[in-house]
Amino acid sequence: MIVVMKPDHTQEELRDLLGRIEKMGLRTHLSKGERRTIIGVIGERELIQEIPFTSFPGVEAAHPILQPYKLVSREFKEENTRIRIGRQVEVGGEAVPIIAGPCAVEGRQVLDEIADALHAMGIPMLRGGAFKPRTSPYSFQGLGELALKYMSDVRERTGMPIVTEVMDPRDLLLVYKYADVLQIGTRNMQNFRLLTEVGQVDKPVILKRGMSATIKEFLMSAEYIVSHGNDKVILCERGIRTFESETRNTLDLSAVPLLKKLTHLPVVVDPSHALGRTDLIPAMACAAVAAGADGLMLEVHVRPQEALSDGAQSLTPQAMEELLERLEPVARAVGRRILRTNGGSQRHHSKAVGDSD
């Protein structure tokens, strides 16, 4: 149930209503927007129906939520959720940030080379895997905490917030100590124990769509996180498994406008894992921005042929720079802009001014 408070309600009226709801054994989720305060009421339908919400002082209306996912639905919150990351990044606003870096952190020197190249272009966020879920037990599994320390050092030097995956609830506190954004990978989208645990921390979470998951299942997984208290969830479309064998997965770009219609959460796209080949990434990255994506996740490596993980889908820094040039006019065409920080932002600004002349 959604309970909408009147614009002029008092804090006492709000406290009284919350107390009554919670006394009935129901859970509440408070959302304060620019114009309205909304209470999400969660629990057994029979108990909810016993409460005469509209008879309480300060209540304007009460509406049942029809979707099985409640707190992440557009019914619960009409305005888009915007999530701040560090000092310069906001996901869900006008600017479209790019999260780039290696699939896996392989060592300090190569990570520094990649990060320095990205930082020089104005890429605002760095991705990199410390714990890697690999299909083969004989493949490189990541450097663990050592990789997290290397990424933390890069952040101290460049100011770039870092994104890395947490695979197991037992590693959550360790990853939380270093990361600015926690990532839940495709194989863990329905690891409900892990979703519950990250729902109890106060850092943003990028939730990747399961490779065989429906949109409804995807949103129900996001609901797990939000219902446990963490509403800083970013959805990531990373491709789904189909009969097609020419690409690693099939990038479902129809999911972007559909998700934007169904949920208030921001949506980013990962073309690298979806396609598995670099020659298609530029076209699909541009298409993702045109479809309304709030951000892009891209794999970049200075020497893809030497990468220990996913070299075939990793762009070189030069290819990344060329892609930025292609993305900027696409973003402008749909009323957005590609977020570039530091020196990269200045180059982008100068080019944009020249274009407008």
Amino acid identity of residue 214, one-letter, is T
Going by pLDDT thresholds of 50, 70 and 90, the confidence category of residue 346 is very low
Going by pLDDT thresholds of 50, 70 and 90, the confidence category of residue 356 is very low
Q: What is residue 12's predicted lDDT score, i.e. its pLDDT?
A: 93
Q: Which residue has the higher pLDDT, 332 or 345?
A: 332
pLDDT tens-place string over residues 106-131: 999 999 999 999 999 999 999 999 98
Chain-centroid distance of CA 68 in Å reads: 21
Helix (H) or strand (E) holding 216: helix 215-227
**Which letter, b or e, does each residue of 197-221 get, where b requires 16 or more Cβ atoms within 10 Å of its Cβ?**
bbbebeebbbbbbbbebebeebbbb
pLDDT > 90? residue 43: no
Going by pLDDT thresholds of 50, 70 and 90, the confidence category of residue 33 is confident
Contacts of 178 (CB under 8 A, 6+ apart): 148, 149, 151, 152, 162, 164
- Average pLDDT over every residue of 340-354: 52
- The conformation of residue 123, written as its DSSP 8-state character, comes to -
Q: How far apart are CA 115 and CA 155, in angstroms?
A: 9
Output the average pLDDT for the chain.
Answer: 92
**Which letter, b or e, does each residue of 270-297 get, where b requires 16 or more Cβ atoms within 10 Å of its Cβ?**
bbbbbbbebebbbebbbbbbbbbbbbbb
Q: What is residue 247's predicted lDDT score, i.e. its pLDDT?
A: 96
* Residue 182 β-bridge partners: 164, 205
- Average pLDDT over every residue of 207-236: 97
Q: How far apart are CA 40 and CA 76, in angstroms?
A: 7
Q: What is residue 350's predicted lDDT score, i.e. its pLDDT?
A: 40
Confirm or reject CATH 3.20.20.70 for domain 83-338, answering yes or no.
yes
Q: How far apart are CA 203 and CA 188, in angstroms?
A: 18
Q: What is residue 39's predicted lDDT score, i.e. its pLDDT?
A: 92
- Where do the structural domains in the chain lie, given as residue ranges? 2-63, 83-338
Angstrom CA distances, 195 to 207, 221, 233, stand at 9, 7, 11
Q: How far apart are CA 233 and CA 235, in angstroms?
A: 6
Least-confidence region, from 2-6, 92-96, 138-142: 138-142
pLDDT > 60? residue 35: yes
pLDDT > 80? residue 353: no
- Residue 34's closest CA among 4, 90, 79, 91? 79
- Average pLDDT over every residue of 65-89: 92
Going by pLDDT thresholds of 50, 70 and 90, the confidence category of residue 344 is low
CATH number for the segment(s) 2-63:
3.30.70.1140
Say if residue 318 is exposed, middle or buried (CB neighbours under 10 Å; 0-12, 13-18, 19+).
exposed
- Average pLDDT over every residue of 56-75: 91
For residue 140, count other CB atoms closer than 10 A to its CB: 15
Say if residue 19 is exposed, middle or buried (CB neighbours under 10 Å; 0-12, 13-18, 19+).
exposed
What phi, psi does 41 have (nearest 5°)? Answer: -110, 125
Q: What is residue 354's predicted lDDT score, i.e. its pLDDT?
A: 37
- Average pLDDT over every residue of 51-71: 91
Percent of the chain with pLDDT strictly greater than 70: 95
Amino acid identity of residue 327, one-letter, is L
Question: Nearest 5°: CA angle at 19, between 13 and 20?
Answer: 95
pLDDT tens-place string over residues 157-200: 999 999 999 999 999 999 999 999 999 999 999 999 999 999 99
Q: How far apart are CA 269 and CA 161, in angstroms?
A: 18
- Residue 130's closest CA among 160, 99, 113, 108? 108
Q: How far apart are CA 49 and CA 51, in angstroms?
A: 6
Does the predicted TM-score (pTM) go above 0.85? Answer: yes
What phi, psi does 306 have (nearest 5°)? Answer: -105, 0
Going by pLDDT thresholds of 50, 70 and 90, the confidence category of residue 135 is confident
Q: What is residue 14's predicted lDDT score, i.e. its pLDDT?
A: 94
Contacts of 49 (CB under 8 A, 6+ apart): none
- Average pLDDT over every residue of 198-208: 97
Q: What is residue 343's predicted lDDT score, i.e. its pLDDT?
A: 53
- The conformation of residue 306, written as its DSSP 8-state character, comes to G
